[in-house]
Amino acid sequence: MAVYSDSQLGMYEQCPWKYKLCYRDKIKRDTKGIEAFLGSRVHDTLQKCYEDVKYTKVNSLKDLLAYYNKIWQENWSDAIVIVRQELTREHYRALGEG
């Protein structure tokens, strides 16, 4: 039996054609939204935190913020799209620190 994520179901409800192109045909887009980029960096930072704790290493908030900012810079590209004109890359980066 197939298993569907919440985001897959949401995309299907939004647009079945978009779902087909993304999940069935596996067509990748050249751009990525800033929200997805931000979510991935926060997820990566939390994953590091939990993986380190598993091996008894407890990071300070300062260490985790440094890691977050490092991977933000390393993964940033011009293909990341900011739709909301009133917000900047820096707004989103700071949001992830909050």
Count of domains in the chain? Answer: 2
CA distance 9 to 30: 22
Helix (H, G, I), strand (E, B) or coil at 80: strand
79 shares its domain with 42: yes
CA distance 92 to 98: 10
Count of CB atoms within 10 A of residue 37's CB?
22
Helix (H, G, I), strand (E, B) or coil at 32: strand
51 shares its domain with 6: no
More confident residue, 11 or 71: 71
Q: What's residue 69's pLDDT?
A: 98
Q: What's residue 36's pLDDT?
A: 92
76 shares its domain with 87: yes
36 shares its domain with 58: yes
pLDDT, tens digit, 9 for 90 and up, residues 16-52: 998 888 888 888 776 789 999 999 999 999 999 999 9
Share of the chain above pLDDT 90, in %: 66
Q: What mean pLDDT is reported for the chain?
A: 92
23 shares its domain with 42: no
Domain holding 73, by residue range, is 31-97
3 shares its domain with 49: no
